[in-house]
Every structure is written in C-alpha cells, then in structure tokens.
Amino acid sequence: MTLQFSLDAAAPETVDTACVVVGVYEQGMLTSAAARVDSATGGAIKRQIESGDITGKTGSSTLLYAPAGVTTKRVLVVGLGAQKSFDAARFHKVNIETTRALGRLPVADAISWLTEIEVPGRDSAWRVRTAALAADHAAYRYTATFKPRDKSTQPELATIGFAGGIDAQGGLDQARAIAEGVRFTRELANLPPNICNPAYIAEQALAFAEGKDKVSCTVLDHVEMEKLGFGSLLAVARGSVNKPRLVALNYQGGAEGDKPYALVGKGVTFDSGGISLKPGAGMEEMKFDMGGAAGVLGAFVAAVKLGLKLNLVCVVPTVENMPDGDSYRPSDVLTSLSGLTIEVLNTDAEGRLILCDALTWTAQTFKPQAMIDAATLTGACVVALGKHASAVMSKHDDLAAELLAAGEETLDRAWRLPLWDDYQSQLDSGFADVANIGGKTAGAITAGCFLSRFTEGQRWAHLDIAGTAWEEGRKGLATGRPVPLLVQWLLDRCESEK
Ligand code: BES
Ligand code: MN
Ligand code: ZN
C-alpha cells in the first residue's frame, strides 16, 4: 500500500493525530517543535534528556505515551545527532528511521515536524519532498510472491503529514510522482525471473501506456529485430526459451518537433553468464540484472505523472542470458545493428551486447537531444565504488556534471569515471572490430568504452548501477535507484528550457 502524504500547518501540541514526531539534537538541544511540546507538557522531553533516556543520537527514537498537556496520544522524539554537522544526508537518514519507528507503532497516521529543521543549502520544498520519499521508501513491503496473509487488525501506517507551508507544496507533488516511479521500479525488479521475463516487462510497459493520452508503447519481438539486424542482442537471447523484446515507450509532453530525451535500460531478466557460466554462490542476485530497465521505466512513470513539459522516450532491450545447445559462445563474431562486428570473448559480458544495439536503434529512430543508459553492467563498478554511488561515464563534461548534480540534489549519488581514449585499445580484437571484454583492469570503464563505440556523435552518458540497484543479502530488495537521479535530471531540463 502506498503511503498518503499531506502538508500540515497545525501546532504540535494541539493537533489531532495518532502520533506527533519531533526531533532533538545531541546534548539536549531541542528543535522548536520539540520545545513547544516540552513546554506544553511541563518538561516531559527535558526530563527524559536529563535522565539519559533521550540521547538525541542519530536514528534513535523514544515514545512518550499520552503525555499530559498535548492533544495527541503519542509523541515520537527522534534523535538528530550533533546539530553542528547536521546535513542533507542525515536529514534523509532520520526520516527513514522515523518511518521505521512509526511502522512498529499501532498508528494509521502521524504528523512530522522534522520538515521544519534547517538543512544547509536546502529549502522547505526539498525537505518535504525528501522526507516524503524517505517515508515511502521505508514503508515499502514486497508481498507479490508470498501466500496472501490475513489482514492484521492492528492499524498500519497509511498517512503522514509534514509540517510545511504552501511553499513546500511543489515538493510534495514531486514526491508523490517520484514515489510512484520508485515503487514501480522496485516491484518490477524484486519479482523473480520466472515471472518477470522479457515478455512480462513488455506487458507492463504496454499496460502503463494503455489509455494514456500522451503515451504510446511499441514492442519489437525477435522476428522484427532479426529483420532489422539486431545481431548482437539476438545472439545473447538465443540460449533462452524466453524470447527477447525491445520495448519503446514514448511520452509527448513537449512541443511537436522537439527532440526527445532518451533513457535506455539494461533488461537482462536473469544473467546466468551463459556458456561463461557464473559460479553458483550469489547467482540468484542476477534476477536484478534488469535493474536498469526497471529504473528507466520507473523514471518514465514519474515523468508522466509529473506531466513534464518535454518529450521523452524510454527504450528497454530485454533478454535472458542462459546456457543452452543454441547459446552464443566465446569466440563467436556478431554483427551488430550498427554494422560493427564484435568478438565475444566472454558470454557473461552480455549487457553491453544488448545495449549496443538498443543505443544504435534509439539514436537512429528518435534522434534524441541526449541519451542516458542505466545498467547493472559490471562487478568492477561495485569494486570501485561499492554500494553507495552509481558510476557516471560520459565524454560530455556538461552532461556528466548535470547527472552528478541531480544525484547530489536527490541523495541518489553518482561519481564520475573517465572514458579516456587511453582505455580503448583494451577492446582490440584480432577477429572483429571490437572485443566484448577489456581484460583485467578498469572493467567498469572498458564496458563504458565498449558502449561509446556505438554512440558516436550522440550526446550520451552511461550510468553503471551494479552497486546501487539493490541491497545485498538474502533479503536485499531493489532500491529504486537511479529513479530519483534521472527524474531530477529531467526536472532540471524543464527548468533550464523555461
Ligand atoms: N550483470 C553482470 C554485472 C554484475 C555483477 C552486476 C555483479 C552486479 C553484480 C554483468 O553482466 C557481468 O556479468 N559482467 C561481467 C563482465 C566481465 C565478464 C567482463 C563481470 O562484471 O564480471
Ligand atoms: Mn553477465
Ligand atoms: Zn549482466
């Protein structure tokens, strides 16, 4: 169930809600809302600070039940950490922890005053948007493949209000749209590959476009792709009985003749490695190898919901990479849609092989003004940047800077890696125009270099989201990244066009 959000201008001591949320810093510093509750209750918060029950540590929380002097039944006092170093990242974190704490209480609604806290360099619309997105993220539950459970009789958190005036309304509207996109991404990526196969992804895109005025969807199947010459993509797909698709969503939010922005996402619904089979341990995580596809689809969903005044296409090449008697093999030479030939040295470097044809087709078909791909492309990217930052690669400094800025704004952060020509010779082949792997070093970069061969003349950037698209571990869920980054980038494009 999605959370409902609202803006609230009431006072914390007299408001009608199941739970009021206020913040305190370390060393007993009260925020103004906490101070109001404290004086209305004759010092209920300060007494617990003195006793050491409330520490103000980041992410800690203490419940005051039915304190005399306020109308609400519950006051949740949330720790904000040291005031001096309070920043945007901490703000995001405490809002996530707050929603987790609220989720453990028998409350259906709550109102948070955390959105009144000053965050250096950010305004109230940002605070409300960030708090709402953090709350929705923490409230998300994956239930699709569990046996349906009986509805619990306990109330469940359904509505959160945020303290804020009309200047924050835009932030709340953006949060609703982005949250919908993030949920779309997470749900699709979390589904197992026996449900979420290429045909399923195509169906979801068609279903989304259905009945929407400015949105259309086309799907190419393997027969059509064969006619057009998608030799690289089709080679990867050959080992699976789940036939590939190329999905293209089109949104006409801008003027008729305006060149669109293009988002392209890697949609490998399961990556076994193919004939270059992956080791067994952790292979189940490769159901998330369509995280780029899910991410660009989610960004598209959010862009449509926001009604952005621009034209946008979202292209998803989707296949399953499996070993089979008919699989492609190491040493095969493929002819890509661009005409460039590719020597396959490892069938596990399949993402770039489906993306190169999709990028060529997107550039030819839509002539975009900028093209961004998102892909869970390399393990090397996770080695380089860990689980915190996505990698940005582009030959266009301005485009790279735009994406990095969008990541900072949304805390969906990215870090740039170089695409210098120095790396290109690692892709030399004795049998084709290019090899599909670049050797031991700089694996994330050589994957980017491979894609760069197919995007010449395009204003293009590549996002490697291998470390950021899902959380590791048995119960690790899709994160919904890079939806916030991509949507912010599109929002910024609308503003700069004005
Ligand atoms: N989907 C993987 C990349 C990946 C691995 C993402 C682990 C997240 C976690 C990709 O298709 C792949 O297998 N890449 C190979 C490339 C290599 C064969 C050059 C890799 O990273 O090992
Ligand atoms: Mn692979
Ligand atoms: Zn892969």
Task: Tell whether 143 and 114 lie within a shared domain.
Answer: yes
Task: Tell whether 104 and 205 lie within a shared domain.
Answer: no
Could you tell me the pTM of the whole model?
Answer: 0.98
Give a yes or no: residue 169 inside a domain: no
Nearest CA among 470, 333, 490, 330 for reference residue 409? 490
Mark the residues whose beta carbon lies below 5 A from ion ligand 3.
268, 271, 289, 351
Q: Distance, CA 410 to ligand 3 centroid (Å)?
A: 26
Give a yes or no: residue 171 inside a domain: no
Predicted pLDDT at 241: 98
Mark the residues whose beta carbon lies below 5 A from ion ligand 2.
271, 348, 350
Provide the domain count of the chain: 2
Domain boundary at 138, 163, 188, which?
A: 163
Predicted pLDDT at 153: 84
Q: Measured between alpha carbons, how far is 45 from 493 in angstroms, rounded to an integer?
A: 46
Give the up-direction half-sphere exposure of residue 439: CA atoms within 13 A in the CB hemisphere.
9
Give a yes or no: residue 231 inside a domain: yes
Sheet holding 74-79, edge to edge: 4-8, 159-163, 109-112, 20-24, 74-79, 61-65
Predicted pLDDT at 497: 55
Domain boundary at 137, 163, 189, which?
A: 163
Q: What percentage of the chain exceeds 90 in pLDDT? A: 97
Task: Tell whether 110 and 190 lie within a shared domain.
Answer: no
Predicted pLDDT at 496: 67
Q: First-to-last CA distance in the chain?
A: 36
Domain boundary at 163, 198, 215, which?
A: 163
Task: Tell whether 147 and 181 lie within a shared domain.
Answer: no
Q: Measured between alpha carbons, how far is 310 from 303 in angstroms, rounded to an integer?
A: 9
CB neighbour list of residue 371: distance below 8 Å, 6 or more residues apart: 261, 262, 263, 264, 359, 362, 363, 455, 458, 459, 460, 461
Q: What would you measure as the largest C-alpha separation in the chain, in angstroms?
A: 81
Task: Tell whether 150 and 190 lie within a shared domain.
Answer: no
Does the annotation mark 74 as catalytic?
A: no
Extract the tokens encoding 237.
């797909």
Give a yes or no: residue 170 inside a domain: no
Give a yes or no: residue 440 inside a domain: yes
Task: Tell whether 19 and 159 lie within a shared domain.
Answer: yes
Extract the tokens encoding 381.
């990217």
Query: What is the number of the ligand 1 atom nearest to the C-alpha of 346?
Result: 18
Q: Measured between alpha carbons, how far is 496 from 146 in angstroms, rounded to an integer?
A: 45
Ligand with minimal distance to 346 CA: 1
Predicted pLDDT at 151: 81
Task: Tell whether 155 and 23 lie within a shared domain.
Answer: yes
Ranges of residues in the chain with a pLDDT under 70 are: 1, 496-498
Predicted pLDDT at 154: 87
Protein residue with least CA distance to atom 7, ligand 1: 379
Q: Distance, CA 24 to ligand 1 centroid (Å)?
A: 44
Residue 231: which domain range?
Answer: 176-496
Does the annotation mark 46 as catalytic?
A: no
Query: What is the number of the ligand 1 atom nearest to the C-alpha of 278?
Result: 13
Task: Tell whether 108 and 248 lie within a shared domain.
Answer: no
Query: What is the number of the ligand 1 atom nearest to the C-alpha of 443?
Result: 19
Predicted pLDDT at 495: 77
Task: Tell whether 156 and 182 lie within a shared domain.
Answer: no
Give a yes or no: residue 85 inside a domain: yes
Task: Tell whether 157 and 190 lie within a shared domain.
Answer: no
Q: Which of 378, 434, 451, 470 should be mutated for ligand 1, with most atoms under 8 A from CB?
A: 378
Task: Tell whether 247 and 337 lie within a shared domain.
Answer: yes
Task: Tell whether 153 and 217 lie within a shared domain.
Answer: no
Q: Reply yes or no: is the peptide bond before residue 482 cis, omega within 30 of 0.
A: yes
Give a yes or no: residue 280 inside a domain: yes
Q: What is the CATH number of the domain that holds 107?
A: 3.40.220.10
Q: What is the CATH number of the domain that holds 342?
A: 3.40.630.10
